[in-house]
């Protein structure tokens, strides 16, 4: 590995090598040196999977090193250690914190082969021409910048993307139907005293506050102007309601990592909590009944994408574009969709999924045969349908996106008070 | 004569310099940096190096700070009482009741066995044990002691303190055992000969002679508990916070200046506690 890095550095930075690179036509250099390239990618555990790295090696020939971190660590690294990565796999709401640091470079849309096939949510915010745009940091609002060196976000589509969308999903509450024993259909149930000492919410403020807002709105306590960009007064009211519930013993615990949420649910400590889709699957795979409950107020959604480090240039940059195009080409899409997420370019993923899988995951149809995830675990039996239905039904009822608010710092302080209360 | 004296000075400085340099680079400079940063300001994505009292203003103006510092000191105090009680008893047993040195060493090593795994694993293993459907609760229910699972066993101050005591008692045992081993046995015999009861020997001879060990153990336990944030987070299910958690939260949210300010206040608090402790015992003299 050291040797690879060395040769890459020599190639890029050595004067002689630079001269050679300009003397020969690019494809030849490509063919010769592609195997020497190592790209370092980091992001959340959701999509930073070793399988992807292996497939990159097989299909494209270069090495992709993966580091999986939690959301806060991802933000920190992208904002403070620009030299430590080549590709940042981050979420759109994080983009709002990271982009102004200038550690990422804008991507030339004309080099993205499947750009036209990317779903509308990431381009103009609309799933279908008549759908309304959800509240919060919707991906399209931070998806474009003015030029290759832009540090602000463009209000409409330009030729320069901040992140290439890769993965997204609609989140809702997870419940244990066997321990609750009645239908749950609203976010307000999270603070229902019936579940005193058996509820949980995640302790990642930017996401937790959105869940809290969905609950307060559903309870009819607060009518928000924009849940994704609250005023100080709205933040105060929201945290007051949750602090009161906390003091009354509503919550069993707060979780910060995927594993914690799985353990809380699987051990029966908690029967209703904010949860992520693969965590539900992890509980189910232990033979415990767990539902990703669709709720009448809609979903809280998130989206992730790939950003390129400012330091990438030359051969490495070419490799990165190659990687992006490969990413949107469908293999990864299929891999992600079989875990319950959505691909930014669903139609290419279809080629890599069976008709049964496509019908179950994307179209919301009954499974015709056992559905397994990419790791071989059974996710559903024949005849089952996906919680929440088809792609259009789920992504069409997104109420808000994970967000970074103008009053973010104030919100964070209030959140800390809530945790310390 | 004169040349010899300067030479001695020079040698002294040279001998002291490696440690001095190491301390300057790895202790003084980082702390100075933290103090400097604590006066800066930050936004989501940038740190503004300008002098400002804002971080301290916010820190001292917020009721949360006092509550959290109160909580930190509460944990430190309760954990100190338990670790001292258990640690002293264990050390006493090892030093005075176990007759042969072989057994002393063997039993002492036995105490360290839990330390062969990581802190976090030892802590997390409590979670399934104390949980609502955990071993402790099912044992209590099947023994007929309770009808319903006890919720306060896990994700409560109880579980936090339990884990702390479990994790840090050894830091009390080792220094106390060490000082006890150095007590001249003839002093104890003399006490008995003088007609002192067992309890009187304990309070008038053994405890005073163990003071340095107790003090060193206390400093270990208090500083460890005041700085620990992992145990509090996992064992309270993030329900309660100590100062370490506050700092960790700030760092996670890129609020380095405000984290530094909290760290400075914590550092001063810990130094004050140690300063007070050292008033009771002159460790250098006793060692």
Which residue in chain A is spatially nearest to B151 when comparing CA positions? Answer: A197
Residue in A295, A202, A305 with CA at minimum distance from that of residue A256: A202
Q: Token pair of A65, please? A: 């090193």
Whether the per-residue pLDDT at B222 is higher than 60: the answer is yes
What is the mean pLDDT of the segment spanning B49-59? 87
Whether the per-residue pLDDT at A223 is higher than 60: the answer is yes
What is the mean pLDDT of the segment spanning A248-263? 90
- Give CA–CA dist A392/A362, Å, rounded: 9
**Does A250 contact chain B (CB < 8 Å)?**
no
Of the residues B70, B237, B248, B256, the best mutation for testing chain A's interface (the one with the most A CB atoms within 10 Å of its CB) is B237
| pLDDT confidence tier of residue A31, bands split at 50, 70 and 90 | low
Residues of B in contact with A101 (CB under 8 A): 45-46
**Is there a contact between B43 and A72 if contact means CB atoms under 8 Å apart?**
no
The CATH homologous superfamily of the domain defined by B63-285:
MetI-like (1.10.3720.10)
Least confident range from A93-102, A181-190, A225-234: namely: A93-102
Cβ atoms < 10 Å from Cβ of A350? 18
What is the structure's pLDDT at A18? 42
Whether the per-residue pLDDT at A55 is higher than 70: the answer is yes
Task: Yes or no: say if B150 and B140 are a contact pair by the CB < 8 Å rule.
Answer: yes
| pLDDT confidence tier of residue B6, bands split at 50, 70 and 90 | low
Task: Yes or no: say if A313 and A251 are a contact pair by the CB < 8 Å rule.
Answer: no
**Is there a contact between B249 and A416 if contact means CB atoms under 8 Å apart?**
yes
What average pLDDT does the structure give for chain B? 89
Whether the per-residue pLDDT at A147 is higher than 60: the answer is yes
**Does B220 contact chain A (CB < 8 Å)?**
no
**Does B6 contact chain A (CB < 8 Å)?**
no
**Is there a contact between A254 and B238 if contact means CB atoms under 8 Å apart?**
yes
What is the CB-side half-sphere exposure of residue A9 using CA atoms within 13 A?
A: 6
**Is there a contact between B239 and A253 if contact means CB atoms under 8 Å apart?**
yes
Cβ atoms < 10 Å from Cβ of B275? 9
Q: Which single residue is written with the structure tokens 């301290």?
A: B56
| pLDDT confidence tier of residue A190, bands split at 50, 70 and 90 | very high
What is the structure's pLDDT at B44? 63
Tens-digit pLDDT profile for residues A389-421:
899 999 999 999 998 888 888 898 888 888 887
For residue A70, give every residue at least 6 positions away whose Cβ sits within 8 Å of its Cβ, in sequence order, or none.
A44, A45, A256, A257
Whether the per-residue pLDDT at A203 is higher than 50: the answer is yes
Residue in A74, A3, A62 with CA at minimum distance from that of residue A34: A62
Q: How far is CA B264 from CA B44, B59, B226, B242, B243, in A?
A: 22, 11, 13, 15, 11
Domain positions in chain B are 63-285
Tens-digit pLDDT profile for residues B255-266:
888 899 999 999
Whether the per-residue pLDDT at A142 is higher than 60: the answer is yes
**Is there a contact between A269 and B132 if contact means CB atoms under 8 Å apart?**
yes
Task: Yes or no: say if A373 and A334 are a contact pair by the CB < 8 Å rule.
Answer: no
What is the structure's pLDDT at B3? 54
Q: What is the DSSP string of A298-363?
A: -EEEEEEEEEEETT--HHHHHHHHHHHHHHTTSHHHHHHHTTT-EESSHHHHGGGS-HHHHHHHTS
**Is there a contact between B155 and A252 if contact means CB atoms under 8 Å apart?**
yes
**Does B241 contact chain A (CB < 8 Å)?**
yes
- Give CA–CA dist A33/A62, Å, rounded: 9
Task: Yes or no: say if B205 and B189 are a contact pair by the CB < 8 Å rule.
Answer: no
Under 8 Å CB pairs connecting chains A and B tally to 86
Which residue in chain B is spatially nearest to A203 when comparing CA positions? Answer: B238
Residues of A in contact with B136 (CB under 8 A): none
Residues of A in contact with B237 (CB under 8 A): 200, 252-255, 264
The CATH homologous superfamily of the domain defined by A36-169+302-351:
Periplasmic binding protein-like II (3.40.190.10)
Q: What angle do CA B178, B179, B185 make, to 5 degrees?
A: 110
What is the structure's pLDDT at A2? 39
Q: Is A406 exposed, middle or buried (0-12, 13-18, 19+ CB in 10 A)?
A: exposed
**Is there a contact between B238 and A101 if contact means CB atoms under 8 Å apart?**
no
Percent of chain B exceeding pLDDT 90 equals: 52
Tens-digit pLDDT profile for residues A157-171:
999 999 999 999 999
**Is there a contact between A420 and B246 if contact means CB atoms under 8 Å apart?**
yes
**Is there a contact between A416 and B246 if contact means CB atoms under 8 Å apart?**
yes
| pLDDT confidence tier of residue B124, bands split at 50, 70 and 90 | confident
**Is there a contact between B155 and A269 if contact means CB atoms under 8 Å apart?**
yes
What is the mean pLDDT of the segment spanning A376-399? 88
What is the structure's pLDDT at A1? 36
What is the structure's pLDDT at B239? 85
Of the residues A415, A420, A421, the best mutation for testing chain B's interface (the one with the most B CB atoms within 10 Å of its CB) is A420
| pLDDT confidence tier of residue A12, bands split at 50, 70 and 90 | very low
Least confident range from A32-41, A92-101, A345-354: namely: A32-41
By DSSP bridging, strand A199-202 and strand A251-255 are parallel
Residues of A in contact with B54 (CB under 8 A): none
What is the mean pLDDT of the segment spanning A336-343? 90
Q: What angle do CA A303, A327, A164 make, to 5 degrees?
A: 40
**Does A420 contact chain B (CB < 8 Å)?**
yes
Rounded to an integer, what is the distance from CA A148 to the centroid of its chain? Answer: 24
| pLDDT confidence tier of residue A262, bands split at 50, 70 and 90 | very high
E strand or H helix at A269 = none
Sign of the C-alpha dihedral computed for residues B175, B177, B179 and B182 taken in this order: negative
What is the mean pLDDT of the segment spanning B38-63? 83
Whether the per-residue pLDDT at A307 is higher than 50: the answer is yes
| pLDDT confidence tier of residue A100, bands split at 50, 70 and 90 | confident
The CATH homologous superfamily of the domain defined by A170-300+371-420:
Periplasmic binding protein-like II (3.40.190.10)
A-facing residues of B in 82-121 (CB < 8 A) are none
Distinct helix (H) and strand (E) counts, chain B? 16, 2
Of the residues B47, B64, B134, the best mutation for testing chain A's interface (the one with the most A CB atoms within 10 Å of its CB) is B64
Q: Token pair of A61, please? A: 């020939």
Least confident range from A27-36, A293-302, B22-31, B156-165: namely: A27-36
* R_g of chain A, CA atoms, integer Å: 22
Percent of chain B exceeding pLDDT 70 equals: 96
Percent of chain A exceeding pLDDT 70 equals: 92
Q: Which residues pair with A175 in a beta bridge?
A: A272, A291
Q: What is the DSSP string of A365-407?
A: PPPSS-EE-TTS-EEE-TT---TT-SHHHHHHTEEEE----TT
What is the structure's pLDDT at A32? 61
Domain positions in chain A are 36-169+302-351, 170-300+371-420
Whether the per-residue pLDDT at B245 is higher than 90: the answer is no
- Give CA–CA dist B285/B279, Å, rounded: 13
Least confident range from A15-19, A402-406, B164-168: namely: A15-19
Q: How far is CA B245 from CA A290, B32, B259, in A?
A: 31, 22, 10
What is the structure's pLDDT at A68? 87
Residues of A in contact with B254 (CB under 8 A): 75-76, 79-80, 97
What average pLDDT does the structure give for chain A? 87
Whether the per-residue pLDDT at A137 is higher than 60: the answer is yes
Q: Token pair of A118, please? A: 């990317």
**The whole model's pTM is what?**
0.80
Task: Yes or no: say if B196 and B207 are a contact pair by the CB < 8 Å rule.
Answer: no
Measured in angstroms, the CA of B100 and the nearest CA of chain A are apart by: 47
């Amino acid at each position: 590995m050291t040797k690879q890095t060395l040769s890459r550095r020599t190639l890029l930075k050595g004067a002689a090598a630079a001269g050679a690179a300009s003397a020969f036509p690019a494809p030849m250099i490509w063919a010769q040196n592609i195997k020497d390239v190592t790209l370092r990618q980091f992001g959340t555990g959701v999509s930073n999977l070793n399988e992807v790295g292996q497939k990159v090696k097989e299909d494209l020939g270069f090495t992709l090193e993966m580091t999986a971190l939690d959301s806060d660590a991802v933000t920190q690294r992208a904002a403070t250690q620009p030299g430590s990565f080549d590709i940042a796999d981050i979420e759109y709401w994080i983009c709002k914190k990271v982009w102004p640091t200038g550690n990422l470079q804008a991507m030339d849309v004309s080099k993205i082969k499947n750009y036209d096939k990317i779903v509308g949510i990431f381009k103009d915010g609309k799933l279908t021409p008549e759908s309304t745009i959800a509240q919060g940091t919707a991906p399209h609002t931070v998806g474009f910048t003015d030029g290759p060196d832009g540090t602000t976000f463009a209000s409409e589509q330009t030729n320069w993307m901040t992140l290439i969308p890769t993965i997204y999903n609609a989140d809702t509450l997870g419940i244990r139907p066997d321990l609750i024993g009645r239908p749950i259909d609203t976010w307000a149930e999270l603070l229902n005293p019936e579940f005193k000492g058996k509820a949980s919410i995640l302790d990642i403020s930017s996401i937790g506050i959105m869940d809290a807002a969905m609950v307060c709105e559903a309870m009819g306590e607060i009518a928000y102007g924009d849940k994704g960009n609250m005023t100080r007064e709205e933040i105060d009211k929201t945290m007051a309601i949750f602090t009161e519930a906390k003091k009354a013993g509503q919550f069993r615990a707060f979780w910060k990592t995927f594993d914690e949420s799985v353990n809380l649910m699987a051990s029966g400590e908690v029967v209703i909590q904010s949860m992520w889709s693969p965590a539900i699957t992890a509980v189910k795979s232990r033979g415990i009944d767990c539902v990703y409950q669709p709720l009448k107020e809609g979903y809280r959604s998130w989206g992730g994408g790939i950003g390129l480090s400012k330091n990438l240039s030359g051969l490495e940059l070419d490799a990165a574009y190659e990687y992006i195009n490969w990413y949107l080409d469908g293999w990864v899409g299929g891999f992600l969709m079989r875990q319950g997420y959505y691909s930014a370019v669903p139609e290419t993923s279809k080629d890599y999924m069976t008709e049964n899988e496509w019908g179950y995951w994307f179209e919301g149809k009954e499974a015709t045969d056992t559905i397994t995830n990419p790791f071989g675990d059974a996710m559903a039996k024949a005849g089952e349908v996906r919680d929440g239905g088809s792609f259009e039904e789920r992504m069409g009822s997104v109420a808000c996106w994970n967000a970074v608010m103008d009053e973010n710092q104030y919100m964070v302080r209030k959140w800390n008070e809530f945790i310390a209360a | 004569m004169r040349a010899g004296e300067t030479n001695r000075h020079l040698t002294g400085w040279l001998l002291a310099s490696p440690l001095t340099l190491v301390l300057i680079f790895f202790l003084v400079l980082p702390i100075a940096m933290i103090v400097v940063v604590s006066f800066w300001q930050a936004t989501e994505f940038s740190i503004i190096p300008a002098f400002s009292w804002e971080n301290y203003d916010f820190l001292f103006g917020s009721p949360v700070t006092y509550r959290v510092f109160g909580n930190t000191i509460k944990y430190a105090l309760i954990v100190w009482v338990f670790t001292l009680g258990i640690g002293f008893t264990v050390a006493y047993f090892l030093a005075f009741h176990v007759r042969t040195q072989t057994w002393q060493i063997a039993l002492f090593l036995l105490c360290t066995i839990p330390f062969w795994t990581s802190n976090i694993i030892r802590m997390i293993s409590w979670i399934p044990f104390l949980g609502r459907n955990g071993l402790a609760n099912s044992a209590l229910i099947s023994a007929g002691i309770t009808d319903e699972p006890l919720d306060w066993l896990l994700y409560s101050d109880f579980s936090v303190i339990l884990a702390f005591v479990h994790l840090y008692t050894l830091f009390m045992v080792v220094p106390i055992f060490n000082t006890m081993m150095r007590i001249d046995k003839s002093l104890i015999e003399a006490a008995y000969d003088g007609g002192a009861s067992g309890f009187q020997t304990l309070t008038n001879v053994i405890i005073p002679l163990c003071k340095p060990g107790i003090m060193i153990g206390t400093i270990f336990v208090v500083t460890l508990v005041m700085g620990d944030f992992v145990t509090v987070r996992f064992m309270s299910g993030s329900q309660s916070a100590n100062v370490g958690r506050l700092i960790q939260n700030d760092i996670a949210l890129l609020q380095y200046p405000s984290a530094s300010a909290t760290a400075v206040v914590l550092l001063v608090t810990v130094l004050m506690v140690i300063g007070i402790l050292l008033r009771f015992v002159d460790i250098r003299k006793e060692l």
